[in-house]
Structure 1
Amino acid sequence: MAELRKSTVLVTGAGGRTGQIAYKKLKERADQYTVRGLVRTQESKIKINGGDDVYIGDITKADTIVPAIEGIDALIILTSAVPKMKPGFDPAKGGRPEFYFEDGGYPEQVDWIGQKNQIDAAKAAGVKHIVLVGSMGGTNPNHPLNSLGNGNILIWKRKAEEYLADSGIPYTIIRAGGLQDKDGGVRELLVGKDDELLKTETKTIPRADVAEVSIQALNFEEAKFKAFDIASKPEGSGTPTKDFKALFSQISARF
């Protein structure tokens, strides 16, 4: 019997906290996937123990990411602008910390231009499926995250999501709740749309579960041409989600 061809998957933002998990999970499934990672610096490559399968490129400079994307079947986009806290904040004095984005790292550059560059390069390379991981809160222009460093991060993320949905490429848009550094695979996952989950008590999710959902989306037709919010019940309440086909089948929203 002919061996099934393994799917080649690129994780961008592989040096980030969620990206690292997705890259590692794919590496552990070497029988199913040939994995690549894209990071911005040599330091990030070393941090994730990357070999020849980890490419260095800057998503805001389109030509630098083409080598990583050529020849892949699927793309998982886990890049995101990251606000930095201004030095000098003293919690003892009260008030709120102030944030800023580094030059070249503004949401407009990373979450809009950078994601658009990835989508364009993937389309040119004939990529068959793009999974884009974003954030809940995008229906509210006045969401507090938009005020961080005056970056309007959710507005730019949403613009990229719209661009992907209009691209013609099969896509899955995953809008995650508040990200937690906790174990994955032990919670019941909840899907929703239009930020409905933000009005509930269950509006957070472990990064490891987001990484798992982004990989599972590659395996099911039920995940294609869909966009959804995702969060989790607290550990110990509900039944840990194992049937991802059933999870994706609950979703009907295309955007």
Structure 2
Amino acid sequence: MKVAVTGAGGRTGSLCMKLLAQSPEFAPPRGLVRSEKSAAKVKKLLGAESDAECVIGDVSDATSCRALCEGCDGLVILTSAVPKPKIASLVVAIVSKILPWMDAKRPEFYFPDEGRPELVDWAYQKNQIDAAKAAGVKKVVLVSSMGGTQIDNFLNTMGDGNILLWKRKAEMYLKASGLDYAIVHPGGLLDKEGGKRELLAGLDDSLLSGDRRSVPRADVARVAVACLTLAEARNVSFDLASREEGEGSGATTDVGAMLANLPGEYDYSMPTGSPVPLP
């Protein structure tokens, strides 16, 4: 199985590339990166002996997306808008923690014009989905984010970007595309070793009501790669978190069994009254 990965130069994307490159189940992967510097970083991670491809391009360009997907059986989408902090607000937030008489302040964020969620998480993900369909890709795995049922989620307020709602719009577009898909909603991403924790799969942001809402990036990459071939991951959407290392019943090794125990299907009728136009 030949797999393309977008966002291959990112922290989670590069981990996906490494897993795909190391598995005999997959042909050498093809990753889309934005610069020669990112390509060099990925190639260094994979090792000089790897036959993985790094293609320079951008998901804003439909032609780049089509070229990436040509000849591939699977696509893993790992692109996301990234908010940037307003420096002055960071200073105020730090000072508010130091001075006992000052009310605590949160940093403020913004999105660069070309990095707005409406573009990166909707229009450019649509580019990727359309390219996959045109190229005859058999399976698309979209790594999104938990919180999409909540209009008032903190991530939606960052930079007034409604990032989770634009992500949800792309998810719904993929669901309606006719492509075989799996949509993964990880919680907060941790730079921790994977394969050490019990993973928790849920629906409709139910995991956000608990006290385990984060998951290592390495486990997100592992689950995304597993979803490319698992029968249990056919046309499924789910949330993903993890227990602390040493908690629960031990590290999750069978992703298929985890998905088989999901208590139903993801409900895309939520949220109602979204400021982002959802289908």
TM-score bracket, shorter-length normalisation: over 0.9
In structure 2, C-alpha distance between the alignment counterparts of 1:108 and 1:8, rounded to whole Å:
30
Aligned position for 1:221: 231
Shift of 1:96: 2.0
Q: 1:26 to 1:52 in 2, by over 3 A?
A: closer
In structure 1, C-alpha distance between the alignment counterparts of 2:27 and 2:246, rounded to whole Å:
32
1:17 and 2:11 are equivalent in the alignment: yes
Shift of 1:27: 1.3
Residues 90-239 of structure 1 mapped to structure 2, 5 A cutoff: 90=91, 91-94=93-96, 95-238=105-248, 239=250
TM-score scaled by structure 2? 0.85
Aligned position for 1:47: 41
For the aligned residue pairs, the C-alpha RMSD in angstroms reads 1.5
Aligned position for 1:4: none
Aligned position for 1:67: 67
Shift of 1:61: 1.9
The worse-fitting range, judged by mean Cα deviation, of 95-104 and 126-135 is 95-104
In structure 2, C-alpha distance between the alignment counterparts of 1:162 and 1:216, rounded to whole Å:
22
- Percent identity between the two aligned chains: 51
Contact 1:225 1:254 in 2 (8 A): no
Shift of 1:64: 2.1
Contact 1:59 1:65 in 2 (8 A): yes
Shift of 1:103: 2.6
Amino acid at match of 2:220: V
Structure 2: runs of 5+ lacking an equivalent: 45-50, 97-104, 268-279
4+ long deviations beyond 4 Å: none
Post-superposition CA distance 1:117-136 (Å, at most 9, x none): 00000000010000000111
Shift of 1:93: 1.6
Contact 2:204 2:266 in 1 (8 A): no
Shift of 1:143: 0.7
Amino acid at match of 1:165: K
Describe the SS at the equivalent of 1:227: strand
Aligned position for 1:253: 265
The worse-fitting range, judged by mean Cα deviation, of 209-218 and 15-24 is 15-24
Contact 2:139 2:179 in 1 (8 A): yes
In structure 2, C-alpha distance between the alignment counterparts of 1:129 and 1:214, rounded to whole Å:
11
In structure 2, C-alpha distance between the alignment counterparts of 1:133 and 1:65, rounded to whole Å:
17
Shift of 1:52: 6.9
Q: 1:220 to 1:29 in 2, by over 3 A?
A: same
Describe the SS at the equivalent of 1:229: strand
1:26 and 2:38 are equivalent in the alignment: no
Aligned position for 2:101: none
How many residue pairs align between the two structures?
A: 249
Amino acid at match of 1:222: E
Aligned position for 2:100: none
Describe the SS at the equivalent of 1:48: helix
TM-score scaled by structure 1? 0.93
Aligned position for 1:8: 2
Aligned position for 2:277: none
